[in-house]
Amino acid sequence: MSIGFVGLGNMGGRIARRLTDAGHPVLGYDPAPGSAERAGASPARDLAEIAAGAELIFLSLPDSRAVEAVVLGEGGLLDQAGAGLTIVDLSTAAPDSTRRIAALLDAKGGHYLDAGVSGGAAAAEKGTLTLMTGGDQEALERIRPQLETFAKKIFHLGGPGAGHSAKLLNNFLNAVSLAATSEVMVAGRKAGLDPHTLLDVLNSSSGANWATANRFPHIVDGDYLEGGLTSTLMTKDIVLYVDHLRDLGVPTLNAAGPLASFGLAANLGYADQISNRVVDAIGDIAGGVRVHEGERTQ
């Protein structure tokens, strides 16, 4: 199966590398020079070349605006799409936009699968990502071998948009736990508590969560797990979540905290750094507190 890949940044580049390392030839497109080559892909001149030369196309883009420009814009993928083309959108995107694109591609005899990704850069490199997919299940099963080169768990949630909906729900819980744990760890430091011992207490108690179990055991030793979701992208995902819940008619009572936390991080200079740096932003406001003794450089 001929494969195209659009968006070879932090996550896309790693996923494309898993595909190429598994022996799948990939034609890649990204405006950043050298991105395709770093992922082991052959560089495409433009989107038209991707659409003309691939049966399966992966997208890994910042948001729905970028996805719509690539798929629906002038010279975009839909212009060249023919029957049998499958597009897999690995982006974190608005479900209503996803459903609209899926309907347009379906009308041309293709399939559009939304596939929210969880696990971060480390899981992408190891091939152990979790995929939350929506769209035609038969189309999903046909490309499962390709997906399994970079994903360990693949869930089918329902029709178009279901995968992106699940992704937004998951990312919101991730944002809440990371922001709240950052605040608690800074407070613990100011209270004179040893961060390692406090973390052991939390992970043995009812306050345990993904951030206490998987992020802060590294952060308290100065390793921020660089390469993951930035504060800017985390903020974007929370806004998408709020918009999605408004569309569903569900009250959003807990979004203010993480919006304030990652907005603070962005405004204090951490916008394009990993979202784990929110703990430093909170620490800055608390008087320059760091939850670790010294930052690891490697």
Provide the residue-wise pLDDT of the chain in tens; the chain has 298 residues: 899 999 999 999 999 999 999 999 999 999 999 999 999 999 999 999 999 889 999 999 999 999 999 999 998 999 888 889 999 999 999 999 999 999 999 999 999 999 999 998 889 999 999 999 999 999 999 999 999 999 999 999 999 999 999 999 999 999 999 999 999 999 999 999 999 999 999 999 999 999 999 999 999 999 999 888 999 999 999 999 999 999 999 999 999 999 999 999 999 999 999 999 999 999 999 999 999 976 543 3
Q: Does domain 3-158 have CATH number 1.10.10.10?
A: no
Q: Do the Cβ atoms of 262 and 238 come closer than 8 Å?
A: yes
Instruction: Based on the residue annotation, tell me whether 167 is a catalytic residue of this protein.
Output: yes
The CATH number of the structural domain formed by 166-285 is: 1.10.1040.10
Q: What's this model's pTM, rounded to 2 decimal places?
A: 0.93
- The predicted-structure confidence for 81-108, as pLDDT tens digits, reads as follows 888 999 999 999 999 999 999 999 999 9
* Residue 29, strand partner residues: 6
Q: Which of 126, 167, 190, 236 is catalytic?
A: 167
The residue extents of the domains of the chain are 3-158, 166-285
